[in-house]
Structure 1
Amino acid sequence: MTVTLEQGRLVATARDDAARLAEAAGADIRLLSSPDEMVDASALFARVWRVDVDRSHVNPGLLVALAHSDNYVAGAFRGGRLIGASVGFFHPPAESALHSHITGVDAAVAGRGVGRALKFHQRAWALEHGARRMTWTFDPLVARNAYFNVQTLAARGIRYLSDFYGVMSDGVNAGQESDRMLIEWTLDDEPASGEVDTGAPPVLVVADDRPAALPLPADAAAVRVDIPRDIEGLRTRDPDAARLWRLALRGALSPLMAGGWRLVGVSREGSYHLERPL
């Protein structure tokens, strides 16, 4: 692969960004290679998703195979202990796109920048390997993940996927359908975005922890779709309400996105902002 001067500068900047964020998070991030490291990474994913280690979403043998075939398997360490891990693989067209399959961070260090540092390490690695796009999925009901993906990274929500994985039995996803938002991150864009204007008319709002749908204004150029700020807490204290939210968000976001409405932002409070297609 021939690397242009501009591409070389982009990769160098991405490496610097990744190193700065890793230092800020107090983490040493590197690729994993040994079988023992793969066992540790698989066990970390099991802890994060609250399942027995033999039911981890990614087993050690698969991690070995992915790393051996030059895909992305990396870990974040602090004091020699694995505190986070991330896995990605190339998808067609292989020379330009990486799918980030799973990223997990130990609960003891959650919210301290380790996940963000892993994502930027993955970005730098992908650019070094010729990729220009990265895709992944996330639960669109988790407001903090929506804000991070769309606002912090400036990734684009491109498709609403209903019950994407089917029935899941782990401690995070059990008892609900596995809807996901497909995200695409253009890696050579500036990875930052401003705050979103939430003044658009809402089509879904929070009313005493329950969803309340509103009609789509016929002449609205933009609309707002609200979600709970803490769906995980709601799932614990009121599982029935949480299940209602899954169906309500699907009913609001899925037809809008299928109809060409563009997801252009997410507020810190938990609101999706969409603009009508031109």
Structure 2
Amino acid sequence: MKRLLIAVIPLLFAASSAAAASSSWVETPGGDVRLVALPASADGTMRAVLDIRLHDGWKTYWRDPGGSGIPPSVAVTGATLTSVGFPAPKRLGDAETHYIGYDRPVRLPLTLDKAAGPITATVFIGMCKEICIPVQAELTVDASDESFANPLEEAAVADAEATLPHGAGNGFKPLSGAWAADGKSVTVRFEAPADGPLPDVFLSGSSSFEFGAASAARLEGDAYVAEVPVLHKPKVFDLAKDPIRLTVRAGEKTMESPLAID
């Protein structure tokens, strides 16, 4: 939360009952949240989505809010949460209260494993307008008796997955990363389409890393270069096991890929 919080109201705790493969909407002043899940596949994996329906003017945060804000947290019982996907974010706020997130409704795809019976997701997110509201909700679904996915639920999950950044490809990929001598920033080099607006750069790592707002990208030869402040760097980390990810937005085109840092 840090500087961004102008005022804080008490946490909103809410629980929704199981309603087939979609939970009820949990309503808050800043927006509504629900969980949608599809029937498990033959190998026990399940596709799901955390659906965040922001109200007009409200915003929520990316996985690394950039020094101000509440990163979304999802904990699941009844299954193993193996991944949470995030669409490419935007820079929000101003120079004094900068943060990274979303200013429109967003769906976060989830991948679950070993699902059996009812599943409850306990989520903790922040929503901001003139004030910031930390929201906690328990969302329960039960798709264990479903043989076929509801078309509307299947479309919701598929639409969410379609918003995720593409992986690295020809002409849109990371090239290198380098720590500054003092460890307080990372210089990122990457390729991106040159026929659109200047790309916007975001870094994220494990929960113990924290990155700030990247400098404006500049074109050097055939590559773009940007510097990203390191707001917090743990003393011990293993980038081979848990790499830092580079996310780039170039107009409507987005890319996300692990970044090798020297």
* TM-score normalised by the chain length of structure 2: 0.33
* TM-score normalised by the chain length of structure 1: 0.31
More helix by share: 1
More strand by share: 2
